[in-house]
Amino acid sequence: MGAGHPSLPRRHGHRGVPRTCPPGPHTRPTAPLVPEPRRAYRRHPPPLPRLLRRTRPHRGPQRPLPTPDPTLLFVNAGTVPFKPYLTGESPAPWPRATSVQKCVRTLDIEEVGRTTRHAARIGVVAVTSEASVGAGMRRLEAAVGIEGFGYLARERDLVGRIAEQIQSLRVELPDRIAALLERLKATDRENQRLKQQATLGRAAELAAGATEVSGARVVTATTDEGTDAARALAMAVRDGLPAERPGVVAVGAHPAGSGTAVLVVTVNPAAREAGQDAAALVKRLLHGRGGGSPEPAQGGGLPAGQLAKALASVPGLITRA
């Protein structure tokens, strides 16, 4: 028989020269009779004893429902397929054997992962969210197995699209995003500084053009920004009025796209001594709505079309006061 005969297993002699021999009781099959996952396991074996790394004929996976054993509902241990051999019901076909068996563990499922004896492999674990639920306690949500692979694939696709949009390599994304966020914060700070300068400039103009009403300086104005901007403008105008004379400032805020307006009223200390109350003025202008302290007060819910009329009535309220 030639050394290249395809039907005979190849073995090595004591000098490492390949030789062939007919199959017999002392020969072992060299081709792994195992499914693909176990072939990969054999190509890259972990550091196991030599006995476990020997190639043995594969019997095939057992079903989770043991047949024909009526004493078990599920296969709950890797030794279940060997039960007939352990009990002596039938002779074992191999002198040695190892078990890789899917099991349904229900008796000690709560102990899995807590001890070194209770272990389980669930494949890929992709953490999807993490939050604190108490002192020293955190809640983790994760996708495992094939769902974990799907989650990681979606995350990879998302990272790729982000890298394409900001024109950066994936490995450079953290530094690039951090730089963009820093630029955004710097831009916001500069924007706030410019807004503050514009507010102070407008406040000076409004204070200079205040109207004299019954010995008090009265200023009314509007802004198309939010409540915070209206409050800042009203306070800046009040601070720009002469401190020795009563001063009343009313600013209406009507943000773009909003159907209602907010009214902010503030008075200086001289006006407080003269009996003016910002909270009372707001309630009279808004028909009982709004409130605050005697110096700054505000109220909302005013229809945008009635804002000009409400501001025009402020001098009359000062006169009657």
Strand partners, 199: none
- What are the helix (H) ranges across the chain? 36-43, 50-53, 83-86, 145-165, 173-208, 227-240, 269-273, 278-285, 307-312, 314-320
Question: How close are the terminal C-alpha atoms of the chain, in Å?
Answer: 124
Question: pLDDT tens-digit profile of 269-307?
Answer: 999 888 888 888 898 888 888 888 888 899 888 888 888
Q: Which domains does the chain have, with CATH numbers?
A: 144-205 (no CATH), 209-320 (3.10.310.40)
| Residue whose C-alpha is closest to residue 92's, from 64, 57, 65, 143 | 57
Question: pLDDT tens-digit profile of 199-218?
Answer: 889 999 999 999 888 888 99
Q: Out of 79-93, 172-186, 232-246, pick the least confident.
A: 79-93
CB–CB of 284/268 below 8 Å?
no
Mean pLDDT in residue range 185-199? 91
* 3-class DSSP assignment, residue 137: strand
Instruction: List, in order, residues 6 or more apart from 230 with CB less than 8 Å away.
Output: 223, 251, 252, 253, 262, 264, 298
Q: Cα(210)–Cα(241) distance, rounded to whole angstroms?
A: 8
**pLDDT value of residue 179:** 94
**pLDDT value of residue 43:** 52
Look at strands 211-213 and 137-144 and give their pairing. unpaired
When comparing pLDDT for 63 and 4, which is higher? Answer: 63
Q: Answer yes or no: is pLDDT of 51 > 90.
A: no
When comparing pLDDT for 30 and 152, which is higher? Answer: 152
Cα dihedral across residues 138, 139, 145, 148: positive or negative: negative
Share of the chain above pLDDT 90, in %: 21
Share of the chain above pLDDT 70, in %: 68
Q: Which strands form 216-223's sheet, in the order they lie side by side?
A: 211-213, 216-223, 247-253, 260-267, 296-303, 291-292
Q: Cα(253)–Cα(261) distance, rounded to whole angstroms?
A: 6
Q: Cα(226)–Cα(21) distance, rounded to whole angstroms?
A: 92
CA dihedral 13, 18, 20, 24 (to 10 degrees): 50
Look at strands 247-253 and 216-223 and give their pairing. parallel
Burial class (CB in 10 A: 0-12, 13-18, 19+), 45: exposed
> Predicted confidence band at 139 (pLDDT cuts at 50, 70, 90)?
confident
Question: pLDDT tens-digit profile of 227-265?
Answer: 888 899 999 999 999 989 999 999 998 887 788 889 999
Give residue for tokens 């972990």: 46
| DSSP state at residue 111 | G
Mean pLDDT in residue range 168-177? 91
Q: Which amino acid is present at 304?
A: A
Q: Answer yes or no: is pLDDT of 121 > 80.
A: no
